[in-house]
Amino acid sequence: MAAEKQDPPNMAVAAAVAQPQAQRTPPQSQSQSQSQAQWQSQSQSQTELHTQAQQPQPQSQQPQPQPQPEQGQEQQGQQAPNSPPLPARPTAQAPGPRASRFQAVLDSSLSHTLAKISWDNFAACYPTIAAQAPGTLRAVQRQMVDRLGALCKKEFASILQARNVVARLNELETLVSEAERRRDEAGLTGQEQPPVP
């Protein structure tokens, strides 16, 4: 009987010991299931982000960075009253004095160069043809001079246009005339001053 009386307390102790273990295991299994659910939701969100990144988005949905230009506009707005932009100087496309002189120098250099292909020099290079068929050789010499002159003028014109030479020489002309006007206004026309080192 004493053994029977001890059994119920042992059972009660065993039940008490078993009950906390049973109570402890569900939270562990719950935390494991929660961590698994969190991992699954994270992997799903990463998969969704990956698929969204691969799909092309319309341009209206893509964010456009606008704060930086606003800051630049604010800085420009602060600086604008201090220094207003200078208007661009109008430059005429008609050749001014410097551009006209430049064109005259090109023409005279070309004519001087082509003058070296004279009949006498050409005939000296081909004496047999000059003696037997001078008319043909004169025609060839004339054609050569005309062709070289036309090609050189065309090439000079394309260079002048590509480099915008006339407008730049006109701009130089306006700068020089403005400097002379300022010098005259300052009263330094007759006075020579040594340049500042």
Instruction: Tell the residue number behind the tokens 């005339």, with chain if given.
Output: 177
Predicted pLDDT at 186: 86
- Supply the pTM of this predicted model: 0.48
CB 80, CB 115: distance < 8 Å:
no
**How far apart are alpha carbons 66 and 59 in whole angstroms?**
15
Rounded to an integer, the average pLDDT of 119-145 is: 96
Q: What percent of the chain has pLDDT over 70?
A: 50
Rounded to an integer, the average pLDDT of 43-54 is: 54
Predicted pLDDT at 4: 46
Predicted pLDDT at 187: 80
